[in-house]
Structures are given as C-alpha cells and as structure tokens.
Amino acid sequence: MKLSETLYAQVQDIWPVYLTHPFVTEMACGTLPKEKFRYYMLQDYLYLQDYVKIFAAMIQKAEDFEQIRFLCGEMSATIDETFRTHLPYMKRLGISEQEIACATAHIDSSAYSHYMICEAQAGDVLTGLVALLNCSWSYAYIAEKTVEAYPEAVNDESYGSWFAGYVSPEYKKTNQALIDRIDALAENIDEKKTRHLCEIFKKCCLFDLRFWDMVYAMGKC
C-alpha cells in the first residue's frame, strides 16, 4: 500500500466533516457572510506565507538537485497561486494593503504553522512534505466533493472563483505531484516511520478543521 493510501485511511472519519462545515456549505450556497470570508482570506494569506517558508526550509535537507528542483517548483506554484487567485480575490473584497500589512495570525493558525515548521525542521524532506500535505490535498477534496454536491457553486458571484481555483487542472497537477513525491520517498520506510508520519498527517488534519472553526467564528473561539 502506498503511503498516501495509508494516510488517507487515517482521516476518512475527519475529512467528511470538512464537507458539512458551515463555512464550506454556506460558501457553496452563496450565503456565507462576506465579513467571514474576508477574515478567512486574511488568515489564509498569512498561513500561506508560513506554508511557503516550510518548503524553503526543506531545501537545505534536499539530497540532490532533482529534489531541490521539486521543492522549488512546489514553492513557486504556491506563490503563483497566491498572486493569481488569492491577492486578486482580496482586492475584490476591498482588503487594502494596509489591512494586509497590519493583519496578525490567530493563535490557532500560528499553532498549526509552528507545528508544521517544527516537524519539518526536526525530520527529513518526507516528513516536511507530509506535514504540508493535508492542507493541499484536503482543499482539492473539499472543492471537488462540494462542486459535485453543489454544481452551481463554481458560478457563484461571490465564491465561485474559490471553488474554481481548487478544482482547476493546475491545482490538481500540483497537488498530485506532491502526493506522488511523498509516495516515492516513502517506498522503503519502516513501520515506525510510517506511524510517525500518520500521526503528523492526522494532527494537521485536525488543525485544519480547527482553522475552519476559527475563521467561521472570525477568531472569536
């Protein structure tokens, strides 16, 4: 069994909860209050800065140029997605550069980022990639399953672009490349290493669930 299959088996009881989260379902129906989405976009923007830095931190652990190229490619793809989708979305929401500059990460988001950074610094490239995987993979899962259940979600004036971005071929390709790389690096790991990686993945899954709770409550949780 591939490591990605083992990881997915660990969270089959948690990922469906994402799909019924009010933040996601209200986005799909176009009823999510705009102020909640504005708060989400700011918090997600700050989170993505840490996400990219984790890729950068892993480069020093890379064993060859091919691995460095992959990490740089994933980092570049995340940055490109931020500029292609995230920042224009924030501009349409009326979020000013000053708001972005003054925004601070909620303690739940900071704890999540800190956990991923610590695991990435303490472990090898595989460990760091697994720490990052739930965010990338679960967003693809949420968007795909939600659009299946709410086909008109991609056409919603307010939130359609969010769903369209995460079901796009570009995003799917980047996410699949991450999964494939993890499976390749994990071909010869032992049971102890597998258990540790499963623990990391599940904790990050729960951190992401907490993130959805936090942004829906606009930090008042």
Q: Which tens digit of pLDDT belongs to each residue from 94-112? A: 999 999 999 999 999 999 9
pLDDT at 98: 92
Q: What is the mean pLDDT of residues 199-206?
A: 97
The pTM for the full model equals: 0.93
In sequence order, what DSSP letters do the residues of 196-211 get, joined into one string? HHHHHHHHHHHHHHHH
Q: Give the whole-angstrom CA distance, residue 218 versus residue 211.
A: 10
Residue 68 lies in a domain: yes
Domain hosting 139: range is: 3-216
Residue 221 lies in a domain: no
Residue 111 lies in a domain: yes
Q: What share of the chain is helix, strand, coil (3-state, %, to 5)?
A: 80, 0, 20
Q: What is the mean pLDDT of residues 2-31?
A: 96
pLDDT at 220: 87
Q: What digits encode the pLDDT tens for the residues 24-74?
A: 999 999 999 999 999 999 999 999 999 999 998 899 999 899 999 999 988
Q: Give the whole-angstrom CA distance, residue 159 versus residue 209.
A: 20
pLDDT at 134: 95
Residue 18 lies in a domain: yes
Q: What is the mean pLDDT of residues 104-132?
A: 95
Residue 65 lies in a domain: yes
Model confidence at 216: pLDDT above 80 = yes
Residue 156: φ, ψ to 5°: -65, 135
Query: What is the percent of the chain with per-residue pLDDT over 90, rounded to a whole number?
Result: 85
Amino acid present at 129: L
Structure tokens given for 61: 């652990």
Number of domains in the chain: 1
Distance spanning both ends of the chain, measured CA to CA: 39
Residue 119 lies in a domain: yes
CATH code assigned at 153: 1.20.910.10
Q: Give the whole-angstrom CA distance, residue 183 versus residue 21.
A: 30
The answer to whether 126 and 184 have CB atoms below 8 angstroms apart is: no
pLDDT at 4: 97
Q: What is the mean pLDDT of residues 178-195?
A: 96
